Chains A and B, each alone.
Chain A
């Protein structure tokens, strides 16, 4: 544990562990939080993990943590590290096992009044149509050749297969297809785990939610994103399933024996990293990008299944059943990006583990609309609390390599959450709040109870006050669909 007296307060929302705190630190470690949140963060080993990240080769400016930070393995969750693309390293543990876990938001043409009596039916239909739960595969299985095409082309391949529209692709980070991807760098074992998992939600904190626009903070931006008060939207949170887990495990195992050859000393083997210019580093980036494409294809297939459920229930009532993408953004990734450091533009490998890219207006990577508004970012709360849509800012580009938080962040262990309330109690509380719950697992509900997480409103306020993201709308959950 790191004593708070070693932490310098830079502003009301930013703290720093100086570079001289530990001899092996190459840069300081910075945390976005309030005084109160920092006290909670210091309760676990996340600050120590952030200091370990600050000791990695090639790290630039500082290691960073977002206000939803909590203890992970290797990197803390909410951790960000930008490595010099020429002299730095890439760390699979800095991305995590769920590569390109991310969030997608779909906007409907309907409002709360249109759907309130049909909410339970449509949530039930979505639960029936989108496979969820541990290890559960979907109805679709992809042969090896087809899976390779998906790994190389991501959501673009889903367009060719009839599961996406051209417009969908314009509203996904990177167009839903990382150009770095190479299916040949993904092991057969990973492919075997993933061949039947496209279009499946998984378990744990992954979810689908039907929400309504509760509050609008920036009417002009909301209007440009096609969002109005009381409008119904659907949020999807999932990632690359077993395929991504295996890619990470494979490359951690490949890198550990070579660390001494590369002269890399680590405080935690889970930070295993390879020089970006080594064959292993290059191969990992290609495999990680392929797993990211798999995740985009997964969220695309889930979108297709939700559109079917939406049509089945709401179309029969004569309602407009359109569901269009607002955006799809990753929060477990490493990417080669250009950023300005000390007045010079340089290429960096930006690791975001439980942190979301949030590019400000004007960035070439964004589509024309988002170049105007800033990149949309989704911050999911919990089953019983609000979620937020923010847009990235110029301040985020300067201070955090264009990054904000990814959610509320856990504050309670799963064991503690289960001690506090049973699944039945959590379900009852949510239903009393008017939230429809479609989840077969009481166990899963108890572990993901709203109380197990930090206050998402406070987390988002830190990001907004620090100028890293501009709040656009607040979303209220109406129906939650989860695996076990």
Chain B
């Protein structure tokens, strides 16, 4: 199954993400965001970055998770290539991000927006539309 697709948007970055379940949706959205901005990876190694996110509603958790990853990426100069969930509930999660050090990206994500955001059930699982301010 295709993991994501970058869609047309006049000014920002719009991504459609597909997955069989919520955990995979979060993982694919993370990969989509960081692949879309084209990291300049330096060195061969990986490191682990702990991440936590909590939200009042189920859908916003994906936005909060991605915003947290953008914050961590910005302050630690790294990109994320995978995620391993330690706990995953409707309103909160804890995970380890698999990180690689970077010297910048081709594009900058300022934040993940709630605009036009949706998660929908499909025959094969879930799909989400996400708009990033760039």
Binding site for B on A (CB under 8 A): 44, 70-74, 77, 93, 96-98, 133-136, 189, 192-193, 202-204, 242, 245-246, 248-249, 252-253, 256-257, 268-270, 272, 410-416, 441, 443-444, 484
Contact = CB atoms under 8 A, between A and B. Distances in A.
A44 B131 contact: no
Contact of B106 (A71, A412, A443): A443
Contact of A97 (B9, B11, B13, B110): B110
Contacts of B13: 414
B110 A70 contact: no
A44 B133 contact: no
Given A73-B113, A189-B71, A204 B107 contact: yes
A73 B37 CA distance: 19
Contact of A272 (B75, B104, B114, B117): B114
The 8 A-B residue pairs whose C-beta atoms are closest, nearest first, are A73-B115, A269-B114, A270-B115, A73-B113, A97-B110, A134-B108, A245-B110, A257-B56
Contacts of A98: 110
Given A269-B117, A410-B10, A73 B133 contact: yes
A136 B74 CA distance: 9
Contacts, number: 102
B115 A268 contact: yes
A245 B104 contact: no
Contact of B104 (A136, A192, A253, A256): A136
A433 to B, nearest CB: 25
Interface in B82-134: 104-108, 110-111, 113-117, 131, 133-134
Contact of A252 (B8, B114, B131): B114
Nearest to A97: B110
A256 B104 CA distance: 32
B57 to A, nearest CB: 8
26 contacts: A70-B11, A72-B115, A73-B113, A73-B115, A77-B11, A97-B133, A134-B106, A134-B108, A135-B73, A135-B108, A189-B71, A189-B75, A193-B74, A193-B75, A203-B108, A204-B134, A242-B74, A248-B111, A253-B67, A268-B114, A270-B115, A413-B8, A413-B10, A443-B107, A484-B104, A484-B106
Interface of A is mostly: mixed
Given A72-B12, A74-B113, 15 more contacts: A71-B10, A73-B113, A74-B114, A93-B115, A136-B104, A192-B75, A202-B108, A204-B108, A246-B71, A253-B67, A268-B116, A269-B114, A270-B114, A443-B107, A444-B106
B6 interface: yes
A444 B67 CA distance: 23
B23 interface: no
Given A71-B9, A73-B12, A97-B111, A134 B133 contact: no
Which has the most chain B C-beta neighbours within 10 Å: A134, A413, A444? A134
A44 B114 CA distance: 18
A71 B9 CA distance: 8
Nearest to A268: B115
